[in-house]
Structure 1
Amino acid sequence: MQTATPVPRKAPRPRADALRNRERIVTAAREMFVEFGPDVPLDEIARRAGVGNATVYRNFPDRDALVREVVCSVMDRTSEAAEIALAETGDAFEALESFVHTAADERISALCPMVQSTFDQHHPDLEAARERVEELTQQLMDRAKAAGQMRADVGVGDVMVAVAQLSRPPAGTACANFDRFSHRTLQLFLDGLRAPARSELPGTAVTMEDLRQDCPVSSD
């Protein structure tokens, strides 16, 4: 008599409350990383999320896993904003402007440097999220250039540097209401991207590969 091959059991789906707890932890961690940096105690993150310490460690075995999840979630939301902008059928440059301001609101400037604290800076989740943001940003820029609205001598790296630098408070300051300054400064930068260009930029358009080669992530 032939023995029936056992049917593999499907992994149980996470319960709704477990998913909510994970989302609350990531949200609280994002807020506190922006406010206090990546070394904020996990106990404090658990307290803000309204969960126990064990719940945090059950979802994220160490700080690196939590930082990676926060950065990926921010990048994913930034990509979603880019997709929404690409779906707009109106002014191509205004779509790019909307995306840049949304990216600044996601605090990429504060969170992306935290990738330096992870042991695996080339984790596939991080690389996939980063590549998606870069590709979508390139599409938005290409569309604005094709419409003759954006100067041709800028690259994705130029935009990413501006978002990172112009949405970060000046060093040594505690500026609680920096948003009202950062969006004003970002708009000045965006106006400088419009065609026709009023000046010639030094150097060449900056690509993301240029940034990775000239500004490597520290291994310290």
Structure 2
Amino acid sequence: MQTATAPVAAEPRRAPRPRADALRNRERIIAAAREMFVEYGAERPLDEIARRAGVGNATIYRHFADRRELITSVVLSVMDRVSAQAEAAAAEEADPFDALRRFVHAAADERIGALCPMLSDTFDQDQAELNAARERLERDVEGLMRRAREAGRLRADVAVGDLMVALSQLTRPLPGTPCPNIDQFVHRHLQLFLDGLQAPARSELPGSAATLDDLRKS
């Protein structure tokens, strides 16, 4: 007498992995959008972003349902890259202020000014992935600033929000001006800013130190 064989459960179907060329196109779109958001703002026409990325308009819509989704993807990409720069600076630089200085210049190269859409009323702040990336960034940057402060190298009356506002402003062209050569001045002006952050402070700042939460409420 033969024993009935138990049926073998079918393996769950796995979603196909994105093709390598599709992933490359997505990264090219995000990189192009990041550059254009810094230069012109987040309302730049999508067809102009497509041209800079070297793809067709249809390719943008295959990856992003609308402008809002593209903006969110750019913001997430920039926050992740900037956080990685903060973590690398903290791990590799012995001097706390040198770590902060390295981070500031690296964040400029990562086009941190592309985070400015986060301050808009139309930007959707309540997303789990976005909140996690924001918390990581705030934690990493505050860690750099705290170590520099505790070492007596950073003035005590500045916070993460102050640093991020200055970084965003100093790495973007003035509104309405193309400023194609701004990159040659950015690191020079950042160095002047960093000199002003060092302790002992030469003046008393008006108001109170700004946190990222303060920026979201403004």
* TM-score bracket for this pair, using the shorter chain length: 0.7 to 0.9
Q: How many residues align?
A: 213
| Contact 2:36 2:49 (8 Å CA) reproduced | yes
The answer to whether residue 130 in structure 2 is matched with residue 104 in structure 1 is: no
**Which deviates the most, 79-88 or 146-155?**
146-155
The corresponding residue for 2:168 is 164
Match of 1:24 among 28, 34, 40: 28
Q: Which residue of 2 aligns with 1:149?
A: 153
In structure 1, runs of 5+ residues without a counterpart are: 216-220
Match of 1:44 in 2: 48
Q: Which among 74, 92, 95 is matched to residue 96 of structure 2?
A: 92
CA distance in 1, matches of 2:90, 2:145: 10
Q: Could you list the per-position Cα deviations for residues 111-138 of structure 1 after superposition, in whole angstroms to 9, with x for gaps in the alignment? A: 2232337552322222222222111100
- TM-score, scaled to structure 1: 0.85
Distance 1:81 1:68, change over 3 A: same
Say whether the 8 Å CA contact 1:166–1:185 is kept in structure 2. Answer: yes
Does structure 1 conserve the Cα–Cα contact (< 8 Å) formed by 2:40 and 2:175?
A: no
RMSD: 2.2
Q: Which amino acid aligns with 1:14?
A: P
1:16 CA displacement: 1.4
Q: Is the 8 A contact 2:85 2:106 kept in 1?
A: yes
Q: Is the 8 A contact 1:85 1:96 kept in 2?
A: yes
Residue matched to 2:10: 6
Q: TM-score, normalised by structure 2?
A: 0.86
- CA shift in 2, pair 1:19/1:202, >3 Å: same
Q: CA offset at residue 108 of structure 1?
A: 2.3
SS in 2 for 1:127: helix
The question of 1:73 aligning with 2:77 is answered yes
Change (3 A) 1:151 1:72: same
1:190 corresponds to 2:188: no
1:178 counterpart residue number: 182
Q: Deviations over 1:75-108 (max 9, x none)?
A: 1111111111011142210110111122223332
Task: Give the letter for the 2:192 counterpart.
Answer: L
Structure 1 position 73, deviation (Å): 0.8
From the CA coordinates, give the structure whose radius of gyration is larger.
2
Partners of 1:155 and 1:205 within 8 A in 2: yes
The letter of the residue matching 1:106 is E
Mapped to 1, the partners of 2:140 and 2:70 lie a distance apart of 25
Structure 2 spans left out of the alignment, 5+ residues: none
What is aligned with 1:114? 117
